[in-house]
């Protein structure tokens, strides 16, 4: 696909327009190089299917998730209320996020503070587009016959009972889907949640992402599909530790969709 033009809420508002959906990018999606790629891929999907969307750009800020999980409720609520003010000022009704942590926080914890929106995770958007026939898996890279597995992010799966949407995005690929030994509600955390991403792990025998690699190696997966920027970091590191970088690819659901459709 050619150039992508990313509209901001401020631009839209200046033209008196309201987008159908706000794409909440998140901190990782904004700053982490790997996650930025996924962010652009989500934009490509949105543009491809012609959904009117916008991002907040520099007006976006952390949802407060890591602060809240780490026990800093003050900081969380300060951020939440500031974000809600921005979202409400733009009259936002529907939000798609590129991160299960943002998804969980805005969906579950913002309503109590005055922020009521319909919130979906990008895997749910992709599932919906597939169901509506707007997205397929054609014209791009073929995943046919490849062994693909999905690592459930805690805040998408156990946190919010979203297990099928990301799998739906993989089912259209005609690939060989394999489940990890610990999957769905039994899924093993990547090790980044609860603000662990921002600290060294407590002393122990091994790192959690290395433990997760046991399942991944056992499944003999060639592609590990992720749906969370933090899982992405942890899984990519895990693959590197095992020196399996050439055999195992870690790709986000959005990246896989973009590749399969050559967007």
Partner 1 sequence: MIAQAIFIIILGLAVFLFAKNVGKIRRNILLGKDTDRSDNPALRWKVMAKVALGQTKMVKRPVAAIMHFFIYVGFVIINLEVLEIMIDGIFGSHRIFSQPLGSLYGLLIGAFELLAVLVLTACVVFLCRRNVVHLKRFSGVEMTSWPKSDANYILITEILLMTAFLTMNAADYKLQLLHFEHYVKAGSFPVASLIAPILPDGAGALVVVERVCWWFHIIGILAFLNYLPYSKHFHILLAFPNTYYSNLNNKGKFTNMASVTNEVKAMLDPSFVPENTGEPARFGVKDVTDLSWKNLMEAYTCTECGRCTSVCPANITGKLLSPRKIMMDTRDRVTEVGNNLDKYGKDHDDGKTLLDNYITREELWACTTCNACAEACPVNINPVEIITEMRRYIVMEESQAPASLNNMFGNVENNGAPWKYSQADRFNWAENK
Stretch that binds partner 1, among 129-137, 138-146, 199-207, 248-256 (CB under 8 A): 199-207
Q: What is the dihedral of CA 48, 38, 126, 52, to 10 degrees?
A: -40
Exactly one of 47, 97, 127, 196 binds partner 1 (CB under 8 A); that residue is: 196
Under rule CB under 8 A, residue 137 binds partner 1 = no
Angle between helices 253-261 and 122-131 (to 10 degrees): 40
Q: Is 81 helix (H, G, I), strand (E, B) or coil?
A: helix
Under rule CB under 8 A, residue 218 binds partner 1 = no
Under rule CB under 8 A, residue 39 binds partner 1 = yes
| Nearer Cβ to partner 1 (160/257) | 160
> How far apart are alpha carbons 48 and 162 in whole angstroms?
24
Angle between helices 122-131 and 164-171 (to 10 degrees): 50
Q: Is 24 helix (H, G, I), strand (E, B) or coil?
A: strand
| Nearer Cβ to partner 1 (108/142) | 108
Which residues are 112's β-sheet partners? Answer: none
Least separation in angstroms between residue 176's CB and partner 1 is: 26
Interface positions, 64-83, toward partner 1 (CB under 8 A): 64, 66-75, 77-79, 81-82
Under rule CB under 8 A, residue 159 binds partner 1 = yes
Exactly one of 193, 216, 236, 249 binds partner 1 (CB under 8 A); that residue is: 193
CA–chain centroid gap for 143, Å, is 21
| Nearer Cβ to partner 1 (130/189) | 189
Whether the Cβ atoms of residue 125 and residue 96 lie closer than 8 Å to each other: yes
Q: Is 23 helix (H, G, I), strand (E, B) or coil?
A: strand
Exactly one of 58, 132, 243, 246 binds partner 1 (CB under 8 A); that residue is: 58
Least separation in angstroms between residue 111's CB and partner 1 is: 9
């Amino acid at each position: 696909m050619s150039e992508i033009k990313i509209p901001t809420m401020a631009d839209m508002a200046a033209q008196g327009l309201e987008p159908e959906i706000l794409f909440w990018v998140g901190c990782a999606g904004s700053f982490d190089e790997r996650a930025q790629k996924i962010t652009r891929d989500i934009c490509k999907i949105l543009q491809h299917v012609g959904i009117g969307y916008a991002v907040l750009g520099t007006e976006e800020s952390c949802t407060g998730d890591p602060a809240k999980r780490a026990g800093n409720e003050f900081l969380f609520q300060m951020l939440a209320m500031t974000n809600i003010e921005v979202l409400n000022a733009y009259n936002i009704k529907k939000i798609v996020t590129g991160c299960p942590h943002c998804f969980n926080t805005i969906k579950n914890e913002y309503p109590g503070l005055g922020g009521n929106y319909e919130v979906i995770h990008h895997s749910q958007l992709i599932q919906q587009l597939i169901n509506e026939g707007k997205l397929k898996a054609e014209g791009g890279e073929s995943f046919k016959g490849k062994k693909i597995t999905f690592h459930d992010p805690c805040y998408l799966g156990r946190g919010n009972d979203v297990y099928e949407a990301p799998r739906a995005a993989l089912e259209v690929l005609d690939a060989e889907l394999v489940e990890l030994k610990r999957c769905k509600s039994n899924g093993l955390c990547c090790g980044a949640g609860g603000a662990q991403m921002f600290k060294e792990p407590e002393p122990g025998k091994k790192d959690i992402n290395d433990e997760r690699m046991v399942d991944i190696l056992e499944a003999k997966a060639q592609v590990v599909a992720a749906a969370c920027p933090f899982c992405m970091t942890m899984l990519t590191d895990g693959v590197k530790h095992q020196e399996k970088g050439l055999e195992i690819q870690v790709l986000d659901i959005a990246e896989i969709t973009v590749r399969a459709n050559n967007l």
